[in-house]
Amino acid sequence: MKYFCSRQEQVATELRQGRLPDLWDDALRTHVAGCQFCSDLVLVAQALQQDRMQTVQTAQVVSAGALWWRAQVRLRNGAMERVTRPIALAEKFALIISAAAVLAVIMWKHSQLLGWLLSLADPPHPTALPAGSSLIDGWTTLLMAAGLGTVALCAALAMYLMREEE
Amino acid sequence: MAWDYAIPQTGAAGKAASAGVLMDDEAFNGFHQRTARPLWSYLARVSGSGSMADDLLQESYLRFLCAGNLREDEESRRRYLFRIASNLLRDHWRRPVVAALDELPESLFAAPEGRDSERIDSQAILGPALAQMKPRERQLLWLAYAEGSTHREIAEITGLGAASIRLLLFRARRKMARLLRQQTLAKGRNK
């Protein structure tokens, strides 16, 4: 299907330059009167151009200063987020590692922990415990110390950061 | 916490650089003056909502300013701004209903009467005609005939293939012309 007239570009150029059809040469006006493509083009373009002119005159837009200021704030917030992102990532990483460590310890020492929990409910007489079944052996002590140390370190760091922020 | 030392070019001193940016606030002021009203008109006519046009206009400028790769010349910047606005329009339409722009029902995008349409004959005819057009058609027609953009520029702004613009524009123009003639006839009969 044909959807282009050979003189359409000429008509479009005249319209783009804002020249009214009354000012066009006779040949072009005669052509437009008889050409469906070009008459559609003139009708639509003129309606839209007129509408644009009126809309542009009545438009109420936010000031450039306000937009500039908001852009500065957004940029600043973006930069802050970029800077703090590694810290947030490190926090998440630490949380995951801690959870994994706790799980590993539970799985590794589950029988002893279970016994310990049971003993809490029903504490045996101290003399009933065999000498080699010390609940808190060397490894457990080490892990607990490391865990407590980590918690203390994190707490100190958090307090330091909070004080800095204030 | 004072992070300023770690945030380059965001202080008052780095104003121009912080905006992305090859543009200082004075240059932006001029650019805004030349583009804000035409952009608002585009958004209002294509979206069919003045309030949405207000929102999208602000967001378009913010994204424009925050983008780091602003073009050198005014025309490119203008096209870039219109492209951002067009993308925002598309995103807005896609948000409530997951569908392509062309598949969405036209009733969602019914263009309201222009602010002064009751007062102005041409708008009284144009408003209802625009309301019956698809958003994509309104977008193409507005860019081509109200903004005077070339096919290549329209393709850049809308993200459509440059080769398809001519045909899409032809169909939209034919439909719009038919609607305008119908509106004119109906208006003549009502008088």
Is the residue at B3 inside a domain? no
* A40: closest chain B residue by CA: B177
Residues on A contacting B at a C-beta cutoff of 8 Å: 3-4, 15-16, 37, 39-41, 43-45, 47-52, 54-59, 61-62, 64-65, 67-68, 70-72, 74-76, 78-80, 83-84, 161, 164-165
Domain containing B182 equals 14-190
Contacts of A62 (CB under 8 A, 6+ apart): B36, B54, B57, B58
Query: Taking a C-beta distance cutoff of 8 angstroms, is the pair A33, A21 a contact?
Result: no
Q: Is residue B173 part of a domain?
A: yes
User: According to the model, what pLDDT value does residue A60 have?
Assistant: 87
B5 within domain boundaries:
no
3-state secondary structure at position B20: coil
Asked whether residue B9 is domain-assigned, the answer is no
Q: Would the CB atoms of A3 and B170 count as touching at under 8 Å?
A: yes
Indicate if the pLDDT at residue B95 is higher than 80.
Answer: no
Domain chopping of chain A, boundaries: 8-58, 109-165
pLDDT digits (tens, 9 = 90+) for A104-160: 888 888 888 888 778 777 655 655 555 555 555 667 777 777 888 888 888 888 777
Report yes or no: B145 and A15 within 8 Å, Cβ to Cβ: yes
- B137 residue type, one letter: E
Specify the pLDDT at position A163.
72
Q: What is the mean pLDDT of chain A?
A: 81
Residue B1 lies in a domain: no
In this complex, the residue of A49, A55, A165 whose CB is nearest that of residue B44 is A55
Residues 6 or more apart whose Cβ sits within 8 Å of residue B157:
B79, B82, B83, B86, B143, B149
Contacts of B171 in chain A (CB under 8 A): 3
Q: What is the pTM of this model?
A: 0.67
The phi and psi torsions of A48 (rounded to 5 degrees) equal -70, -40
* The two structure tokens encoding residue B120: 């102005």
Structural domains counted in chain B: 1
Residue B25 maps to a domain: yes
- Reading the block at residue B144, the tokens are 């081509």
A139, A147 Cβ separation under 8 angstroms: no
CB-facing half-sphere around the CA of A166: CA atoms within 13 A: 5
CA–CA separation, B34 and B38 (whole Å): 8
Which CATH number fits the domain that encloses residue B128? 1.20.140.160
Query: Over the Cα atoms of chain A, what is R_g?
Result: 40
Average confidence score pLDDT of chain B: 78
Q: Count how many pairs of residues, chain A against chain B, have C-beta atoms within 8 Å.
A: 139
